[in-house]
Chain A
């Protein structure tokens, strides 16, 4: 909230991919547990943002609320400018199928399904024909450098490759925002580094990405960081110097 005009200019696009206003999330109990306490934040189109915090800081709850998998107790969530607070469960599913891509720590690929079919699942609930979905999936897999792995199943691939398949699945529906929950958490440092490299490339192509992580070092390497502590935002910082090259490439692609 405290950097709206400037940030909009930085991101080369006035549009907001995500807007959270005064989000409170309470779980019932005696006394009630307040997982999120008046959280407000904005993510502009084309930004690469880290939400960082120790476990229990509320970042997972925040991820679920941003991804419309959960509802806030109070507050407003806008995805691509659309207010989701009054939406039915069905409408929220529609928002997820069109506007949001998810990357999970443990990949969540379906065993016994080829890479291309796993990626095509990213378009499954859009009602498109299977041939269409597979074409788009093949393209996305080529984009993440797995053009040679189209017909491999998850158990024939390394962890890093699996996560790249999952990333292809998250971008295949061209979402407004990609949410990555600890994307390198299950990977060794080498393949983790490769996955982060891929994420930076995707960002450089203009995609909006939010990474949720507990890893301060990883967060520090990203252009914008939102630090969480005890259900509140502790700080929001942008390090322009780090992001210079990335920002110019964003400018170039747009």
Chain B
């Protein structure tokens, strides 16, 4: 007779563990939704932060690549108490003599306005500034044209203008084939080209660019002094060039010359956003923890409420382990559902935010996988105590009347 019990063994197949675990979720939908919410918010926060930081980093790296790390910018320093300094007129030719310099060009602000018509007053100018640039600017900045052509040696001397992307939009000009003209100062300039957005010099996007000679002739009536010089160097020579730039540009007062590397600013921005990422990840983790506690709480209540069900299942032959597995599975499914919803939310937030900023949408796979896994782990931990409690409940007590 002692051998007989082996025939009578309770078994619960893994698929049935899932089924009974999902039962509580299906029958108490509102509670399932609400208790899932905490974990969902936590996971969404973390996935969103990771997605946004990955997207913004991708964007920054795209911009850094567009800039090139071999671009230097030279400006007159803001001397103490001496007002705005100027660069020497021959600065460009001086810099071009530095051996590893590949390209160099300058721009200068022209104190004038751009208008579609001479019928409006000069005050209404849509915030479009006018720059005088030399013909090498396009190659130095690796900028590209959306339409038309760039200033060449000839058009630099004529009243011809190339518009930045934003400026063109504001003026309502999309096609140079329309042969439109804009009024700069008192002269009509023919629009010969429209730029794509220029990464290294965003100011150019809202600018109308004319040749230096044209600016001197038609707008200023005087010599134009370079205000900012862009220098493209050979890769690897960037630090060497940077160190000699001030003295080359202005041998007399090199301390009044500032040479910066635009990509450095972006790299710094990247580092700063990293710090925020950690902060928000921490906040997400706190939300997740609270969500986990919420699930543990809901499960403890479920175990108390479903005493009779536990008693019934024990009467039907469930072992303690079967009861434990049922409630553990329920907690894991609850949290897992939260994780899936959270990952979806986080990805959606990333997508929405990134697309408003016209970034490429990047949701790191590790955030997706990690988000769901973290939720499952939270569920397992949150479910441990309630499941153990359910399993410990003696059947006779569980069956006692409601």
- Which A residues fall within an 8 A CB radius of B? 64, 67, 69-70, 81-83, 86-87, 89-91, 93-100, 102, 104-106, 108, 110-113, 121-122, 124-127, 129-130, 169
B10 near A: Cβ within 8 Å?
yes
A94 to B9, Cβ gap below 8 A? yes
Sorted from nearest, which 8 A-B pairs have the closest CB atoms?
A: A97-B317, A127-B11, A112-B27, A125-B317, A94-B8, A98-B8, A93-B319, A69-B395
A195 to B261, CA, bound (A): 90
Is B180 part of the contact surface with A, judged by Cβ < 8 Å?
no
Q: Which residues of chain A have C-beta atoms less than 8 A from B9's C-beta? A: 90-91, 94
In the assembled complex, the Cα of A86 lies from the Cα of B2 at a distance in Å of: 9
- Write 22 A-B pairs (CB below 8 A) sorted by A numbering: A64-B395, A64-B399, A69-B396, A70-B395, A81-B1, A90-B321, A93-B314, A93-B318, A94-B9, A94-B319, A95-B8, A96-B316, A97-B316, A100-B315, A110-B309, A112-B27, A113-B27, A121-B313, A124-B12, A125-B317, A130-B19, A169-B316
Count of A-B residue pairs with CB < 8 Å: 117
Complex Cα–Cα for A48 and B229 (A): 106
Interface size, B (range): 35 or more
The reply on B181 being an interface residue by CB < 8 A is no
Question: What separation, in Å, do the CA atoms of A122 and B317 have in the docked complex?
Answer: 8
In the complex, chain B residues 11-56 whose Cβ is within 8 Å of any chain A Cβ: 11-13, 15-16, 19-20, 23, 26-27
List B contacts of A169 (CB < 8 A).
316
A127 vs B321: C-alpha distance when bound (angstroms): 14
| B26 pairs with A112, CB closer than 8 A | yes
Q: Which of A67, A100, A111, A125 contacts B12 (CB 8 A)?
A: A125
Which residue of B309, B317, B395, B399 contacts A94 across the interface (Cβ within 8 Å)?
B317
> Which residues of B (213-229) have their CB < 8 Å from a CB of A?
none
Query: Chain B: residues with CB nearer than 8 A to chain A?
Result: 1-2, 4-5, 7-13, 15-16, 19-20, 23, 26-27, 308-309, 311-322, 394-396, 399, 401-402
Contact at A90–B10, with CB atoms within 8 Å?
Answer: yes
Whether B11 contacts A125 by the Cβ 8 Å rule is yes
A64 / chain B contacts, CB cutoff of 8 Å = 395-396, 399
A82-B1, A90-B9 are known contacts; what are 4 more A-B pairs with Cβ within 8 Å? A82-B5, A91-B5, A110-B309, A125-B322
| B389 → chain A closest CB, angstroms | 16
Residues of B within 8 A of A93 (CB): 10, 314, 317-320, 322
Query: A72 to chain B: closest CB distance in Å?
Result: 12
A65 to chain B, nearest CB (A): 9
Query: Which residues from A are CB-within-8-Å of B399?
Result: 64, 69, 104, 108
Greatest chain A CB density within 10 A among B9, B15, B318 is at B9
Q: Which residues of the other chain, A, contact B8 by a CB distance below 8 angstroms?
A: 82, 91, 94-95, 97-99
Q: How far is the CA of A126 from the CA of B322 in the complex (A)?
A: 12
CB-defined contacts of A130 to chain B, threshold 8 Å: 15-16, 19
Cβ A124 vs Cβ B314 within 8 A:
no
